[in-house]
Chain A
Amino acid sequence: MTSLRAEGVVKRYGDAVVLDHAAIELEGGRVDGLIGRNGAGKSTLVNVLTGRVAADAATVTLDGQPLDVHKPADALAAGIVAVPQELVMPMDMTVTEVVTFGAEPGSGFVLARRRAERGVRELMESLGLDLDVRARVRDLPVSWQKVVLLAQALHRDARVLILDEPTAAMNAEDCDRVMGVVRRLRERGLAILYISHRFDEVEALCDRVTAMADGRVIDVMESGEVTHDRLVTAITGSEVTVERPARARAAATASGAARSEGASLRASGLRGARLDGVDLEVAPGEVVGVAGLPGSGVEELFQQLSGRARPAGGTIRVGDDAINNAASAKRLGVGFLPASRAAAALPSEPVIENLALPALGACGRRGFITTGASRRRAEPIVDRLSLAPVADRRMGQLSGGNQQRVLVGAKLLASPRFLLLEDPTVGVDVAARAELHALLWSLADEGFGCVVGSSDPEELLELCDRIVVFRRGRVVASWTAEEATEYALVGAMTGSAAASAAQ
């Protein structure tokens, strides 16, 4: 019976300790869950096991024999196969081509195509799957594509299978299909490590769960000990100390009268690839948090609200005017800051150019534009965000927090009424994060409506007046800041049984 043990795994990047004597134990015929927040060290641990990251210290044994993994090929040779979260495969190839890729039947140079097809068909049948092995993987639904990758791992003689969030971005039916295949693989005696943020799946599938935080293993739940409570506690930490609200809520309520004056941003019945009938209303002066794991539909919500993607159903309105495309979103004063700062900024250009970019029309005169003009135009924003010291530096030289403030400033120059921010504080240090929050609150007090998307419960609890939780394309919970707790929030996002029962 296969057994993989890793003990005392240490990995440092400079001063930062990413893995601090982490350990994991896998056994054939068992599914081990691995949970933890983003940045807990799960991915690094997996990368060490698969030879993509060299650990500073580690003892790894496979079936009791010491195992040295220095490069990905070593891990493959030992039968350790990781299936990444993204669907990494040549989409234009057929099922057979993808499954056999890198280990094609044949003489080593000339392919034996019929033999490959027969082999893959038998493999699929043994997994209880009825799949056309000549179909192009592009034409398959995502769950089948994931299954193709699982079959590929099997074809590569995997004994230890590492699945990184295999069901992220899938609906319930697709999840069931993937989990069904994982169960079959367990029956075949594979040792499986199952990384997931979805506790409902972890509870249903895993025989044993390891929880990590800050590079350490903080809890190991043997079979029968896996409970909703222990899972959520492993994520939120034992002591629940949330300091909030820093925002002067008295002021917020005082301006309640002013708030009702402007029109709201109102979405109703939104549908799309991942959205399944979503209603959302944001009033001027309100900071609304949208919580959800990757794939829950939050990304698509932002795409649709900002007019970048057309909803398959439903409407988005500001007052009486509908948002259909990016131009109408801009006209109605909806500004969008995507999660990837790199996508929205010109890193090699000075801050002032970045500030002027979304409002070039307003900065220039009859199509001509001068640095002086954009500088004059941006002046109030630079003062307001105290960007003067960095105004002449290049965008790429700024810290993440300052870059984010420049991007917010750039949106303000286009005089919006609503700001959509997707993960605004990713990669931003604590102090800069607090500053950004203060900025958003002062904007809200002036009557801006803000929508903040994040998968970080702490941040949302700190920042928002109201929190809406998404799971699998639906709004599953909605709380005011006072009602919400981190425990409930994590429960609703991850979909563990207890949380859904509470609805």
Chain B
Amino acid sequence: MSTTMSPSAPELTSDRAAASRSRLKQVATNRPAIAVLFLVLLVGYFKLRLPDTYLTTENMKSVLTQQSTLIILALGVTFVLVIGEFDLSFASTIGLAGGIAILLMSKHSTSPLVAILAAIAVGGAVGAVNGIAVAWGRAPAFIATLAAGSAATGIEQLLTDNNTISDNIPTSYLNFTLQEHLGLPWSTWLTLLLVVVAIFIMSFTTFGRRLRATGLNPTAVSLAGISVSLVRLSAFVALGLIAGLAGVLVTSQGGSYFPNSGAGLLLPPYSAVFLGAAIVGRGRFSPGATVFGVAFIALLERGLTMLDQKAAVIQLIEGAVLLAAVVLARQERKQ
């Protein structure tokens, strides 16, 4: 669907048909509008099926708060996908960062704020290892991040002896994701802030433009005298920092550390990002598209759960939706 000038209409009689077709085309290419339409249809369907319970402030707030982890992880993954790489280590990073935060408070009586900053720093460090291995070590991201993730899990198990830790955790740490201020917990406000920051960075800063250009054509970036390796490093570090924060959210919500807490968090962010890119971005990744992907999956999942669908059925439906969206986006781009 190119937007280049179309050749002049062949016949005057077909002018009106052509005009309405072009209007249709205009609507079809207006991606944000389509995204809103999809969400309205989805919410409308569940509103009809669950008139009293689905579209309520409480329910929507609960979706938002519960899916905070997914939202921030999907944003981080977007950064790495935008530069044309990917990361399989962040689920392990979540476990390591969360474990360290809990250990610091439980065994060393550190203040929650320091523990949270430490967890985020650990995440950033794992991201830096990934970035250095990929950007300067020229390792394929697939295997480099898999290896870094495996090492991170190893460290996590060494530190925690694979035991659940739940004593001596300050309540203020738990309140981070629990106690509401102006209607939402701090963690959820932070998530919303990160959404705004991510969209701003990608669209309105030189850094965001460098990220995009690196994914599109690294040679063009280096010809502009910019270090492609630094850009790559920064994207991996961004995801690492976010994975560290996600570790905090997971342990704070759970009220304890339990081994392997990041498992199961690897694939959902990718699903959300690809779904968003397929529907909103015509296959291109962007934070805005990602937010749509997360919203769609979260609202769908909540609705199906409230309709008492089995978890297996929910998984099946989500998989089918994602596959269809990605294939359709590919077909569309081919035209």
Interface of A toward B, CB cutoff 8 Å? 72-73, 76-77, 82, 84, 88-93, 97-98, 101-104, 106, 108-111, 113, 135-136, 139, 156
B220 touches A111 (CB 8 A): no
Cβ-defined contact, A110 with B205, below 8 A: yes
- Per a CB cutoff under 8 Å, which of A84, A89, A104 touches B209? A104
Bound CA span A193–B65, Å? 61
- The one of A88, A90, A93, A108 in contact with B206, judged by C-beta atoms closer than 8 angstroms, is A108
Do A90 and B223 have beta carbons less than 8 Å apart? no
- Residues in chain A near residue B206, CB distance under 8 A: 104, 106, 108-111
Nearest-neighbour CB distance to chain B for A133, whole angstroms, equals 14
Q: What is the predominant secondary structure among interface residues of chain B facing chain A?
A: helix
Q: By the criterion CB–CB under 8 Å, are A111 and B217 in contact?
A: no
Q: Once bound together, how far apart are the Cα atoms of A77 and B224, in whole Å?
A: 11
Query: A76 and B216: CB pair below 8 A?
Result: no
Contact A91–B3 (Cβ < 8 Å): no
Determine how close the nearest CB of chain B comes to the CB of A84; give it in whole angstroms: 7
Contacts A111-B206, A139-B2; A91 near B226 (Cβ below 8 A): no
- Is there contact, CB below 8 Å, between B216 and A91? yes
Given A72-B225, A101-B220, A102-B224: A93 in contact with B3 (beta carbons within 8 A):
no
Q: How far is the CA of A77 from the CA of B219 in the complex (A)?
A: 18
B204 touching A113 by the CB < 8 A rule?
A: yes
In contact, B223 and A91 (Cβ under 8 angstroms):
no
In angstroms, how far is the closest chain A Cβ from the Cβ of B14? 24
The verdict on B4 contacting chain A, using a C-beta distance below 8 Å, is yes
B: number of interface residues (CB 8 Å) = 21
Contacts of B3 in A (CB 8 A): 135-136, 139
Residues of B within 8 A of A (CB): 2-4, 204-207, 209, 212-213, 216-217, 219-226, 284
- A90 x B220 contact (CB < 8 A): yes
Bound CA span A111–B212, Å: 14
CA distance A101 to B220 in the complex (A): 9
CA distance A98 to B284 in the complex (A): 17
Given A72-B222, A139-B3, A139-B4, do A90 and B213 touch, yes or no (CB 8 Å)?
yes
A85 to chain B, nearest CB (A): 12
Smallest distance from the beta carbon of B266 to chain A beta carbons, Å? 28
CB-CB nearest 10 A-B residue pairs? A102-B224, A90-B216, A73-B225, A90-B217, A90-B213, A76-B225, A89-B220, A88-B219, A88-B220, A139-B4
For A111, give its contact among B209, B222, B225 (CB under 8 Å): B209
Which B residues touch A103, using CB under 8 A?
224
**Would you call B216 and A102 a contact (CB within 8 A)?**
no
Bound-state CA distance A109–B222 (Å) is: 18
CB pair B212 A90 closer than 8 Å: yes
- Using Cβ atoms and an 8 Å threshold, which residues of chain B touch A106? 206
Residues of B within 8 Å of A77, CB to CB, are: 225
With contact pairs A73-B225, A139-B4 given, residues A97 and B204 touching in the complex (Cβ less than 8 Å): no
Known contacts A73-B225, A93-B212, A102-B225; A109 and B205 CB within 8 A of each other: yes
Q: Using Cβ atoms and an 8 Å threshold, which residues of chain A touch B222? A: 72
**Docked pose: A108 CA to B4 CA in angstroms:** 33
> How distant is A4 from chain B, measured CB to nearest CB, in Å?
18
A98 CA / B217 CA spacing, docked (Å) = 11
Bound: A135/B4 CA distance, A: 9
Q: Which residues of A contact B217 (CB under 8 A)?
A: 88-91
| Contact, CB under 8 Å: B213 / A93 | yes
30 contacts between A and B (CB under 8 A): A72-B225, A73-B225, A76-B225, A77-B225, A89-B217, A90-B212, A90-B220, A91-B217, A92-B216, A92-B284, A93-B216, A101-B209, A101-B213, A101-B220, A101-B221, A102-B221, A102-B224, A102-B226, A103-B224, A104-B206, A106-B206, A108-B206, A109-B205, A109-B207, A110-B204, A110-B206, A111-B204, A111-B206, A111-B209, A113-B204
Q: Which residues of A contact B213 (CB under 8 A)?
A: 90, 93, 101
CA distance A156 to B224 in the complex (A): 9
Can you name the residue of chain B whose Cβ is closest to the Cβ of A140?
B4
Give the docked Cα–Cα distance between A431 and B4 (Å).
52
A92 and B212 CA atoms in complex are apart in Å by: 9
Residues of B within 8 A of A97 (CB): 209
Please report the C-alpha to C-alpha distance between residue A77 and residue B225 in the assembled complex, in whole angstroms: 9
Shortest CB distance B332–A (Å): 14
Residues of B within 8 A of A89 (CB): 217, 220
Measured CB to CB, the closest approach of chain B to A101, in angstroms, equals 6
Whether B223 contacts A84 by the Cβ 8 Å rule is yes
Question: Complex Cα distance A109/B210, Å?
Answer: 11
Known contacts A102-B221, A111-B205, then 11 further A-B pairs from the complex at CB < 8 Å, ordered by chain A residue: A77-B225, A88-B217, A92-B212, A93-B212, A98-B220, A101-B221, A101-B224, A102-B224, A106-B206, A109-B207, A111-B209
A136 to B333: give the CA distance in the assembly, Å: 14
Collect the chain B residues with CB atoms within 8 Å of residue A111's CB.
204-206, 209
- A110 vs B217: C-alpha distance in the bound complex, in angstroms? 22
Residues of A within 8 A of B2 (CB): 139
Measured in the bound complex, the distance between the Cα atoms of B203 and A106 in whole Å is 13
Q: With A and B bound together, what is the CA distance between A136 and B2 in angstroms?
A: 10
* Distance between Cα atoms of A108 and B209 in the complex (Å): 12
Residues of chain B with a CB closer than 8 A to A102's CB: 221, 224-226
The closest CB in chain B to the CB of A112 belongs to: B204
List residues of chain B with CB within 8 A of the CB of A90. 212-213, 216-217, 220
Min CB distance B65 to A, Å, is 31
